[in-house]
Copies of this chain bind each other. A is one copy, B any other.
Amino acid sequence: MKLPRGFLASGVRAGVRKSRPDLALIVAEKGATAAALFTRNRFPAAPVVLSRAALSRSRGRVRAIVVNSGCANAITGRPGMEAARRVRRRTAELLGCPPEEVFLASTGVIGVLLPDARIRAALPAAVARLSSGGLDAASHAILTTDVGPKVASATFRANGRRGRLVGFAKGAGMIHPDMATMLAFVMTDAEVPPDYLKAALRRATDESFNAISVDGDTSTNDTVLLLASGARGAPRLHGAADAGDFERALLAVCRELAWRIVRDGEGATRVMEVLVRGAANERDARLAAHAVATSPLVKTALHGGDPNWGRILAAVGRSGARLSPARAHLAAGPLCLVEAGVPVSYRERDAARIFARELVPITIDLGVGDARARVLTSDLGHDYVSLNADYRS
């Protein structure tokens, strides 16, 4: 897939991982306006600490993104910070830009120092291979246990001009971002003011990447970055007023990437869409949806295609969300399983058919209000155990 105007990309082998591409480079030829959301983990990785500070020093301008897989460079103390700084400095030298316009991201094993010499040695090749068709190589180089690359795109119209949005991501690790790094990079050729860019990214993330998790529940490295190059001939947005179609396209790209991250969860064979409604407030709705989405008992039953709805309501019951046991409802797709707190008689075969689908839609009504939340989760099967019981070797 071609990048939006103003962007180039490449992906190369730096030798951080044994024999797979592990270094991605994205360059905004004339720089780009950037908005980013970072992990809230209290052990933020070195690239997160540096990139957050750099964005503020560069006033939201980004010239390049350097992403490595194979090493998270998290909980590596001052040596980790220095290794990341050396990568940043070398990239800035090669591209002729200030170091604070180089944005860093890493994913892989935690607690291992970044082998920055290998990355610095591979950077000239990454620069040499930059092209507007380099997204494929870049999207492969950021993967860890992902089954495959995750790319999405959309077009939009504003001021009579047509703009594009292209994003790529990595996830896996049981889809729940607290379980493994989630990185997502989205680029557009539009010109967008920084404040509005940030607001739009937050709104889109709440409905996509955060709908496969919950605020605060993130790994050491999670990062979502949105870049706007403002290329010639592309739309110029001024704010929410003229950007309706841009926001729709942004949400579509983020949702598609989020869906792929869940669908591609480690060992996943099936996805459950948990919709909680009737909650007293949005926090309660999220608490309940999150409890269901992270319950190992629910996730293993989902793996077995077993319509064991008791586990779903038991998870809701312990979530802390206010509910009325006598007014609670539960449905799987169109099939009502619990009405007003009492099991409905249904044909086991009908329930089993819904639980055998690739996407299992579950609706829970707490019976106490109007707030709602929606979370996607994948199943927990043998492949997940195999992948994670000895990930490092």
Contacts and interface: CB of A to CB of B under 8 A. Distances in A.
Given A110-B313, A314-B110, A385-B382, A179 B297 contact: yes
Contact of A318 (B41, B79, B304, B390): B41
Interface string A59-81: 00000000000001011111100
A228 interface: no
Interface residues of A, number: 68
Interface stretch (A30-38, A204-212, A232-240, A338-346): A338-346
A341 B314 CA distance: 38
Nearest to A296: B174
A77 B301 CA distance: 23
Contacts of A389: 300-301, 303-304, 306, 381
A109 B301 CA distance: 13
Contacts of A77: 326, 340-343
A384 interface: yes
A308 B392 contact: yes
A306 B316 CA distance: 32
Given A43-B314, A219-B318, A380 B385 contact: yes
A220 B303 contact: no
A244 interface: no
A29 B389 CA distance: 51
Nearest to A386: B382
A306 B393 contact: yes
A390 B314 contact: no
A182 interface: no
B392 A306 contact: yes
Contacts of A54: none
Contact of A306 (B178, B304, B314, B390): B390
Given A304-B388, A389-B301, A313 B380 contact: no
A60 to B, nearest CB: 26
A300 to B, nearest CB: 4
Contact of A296 (B179, B306, B310, B321): B179
A326 B42 CA distance: 11
A311 interface: yes
A325 interface: yes
A297 B320 CA distance: 24
A111 interface: yes
Contact of A313 (B43, B306, B343): B43
A40 interface: yes
Interface in A261-318: 295-297, 300-301, 303-304, 306, 308-311, 313-318
19 contacts: A40-B318, A42-B318, A43-B313, A43-B325, A72-B310, A74-B314, A75-B313, A75-B343, A111-B343, A112-B310, A112-B343, A216-B318, A218-B318, A219-B314, A304-B391, A306-B390, A308-B391, A381-B389, A385-B385
Report, nearest first, the 5 A-B pairs whose CB atoms are least far apart: A110-B310, A304-B389, A77-B342, A43-B317, A300-B388
Interface of A: 40-43, 72, 74-79, 109-113, 173-174, 178-180, 216-220, 295-297, 300-301, 303-304, 306, 308-311, 313-318, 320-323, 325-326, 328, 338, 340-343, 380-382, 384-386, 388-393
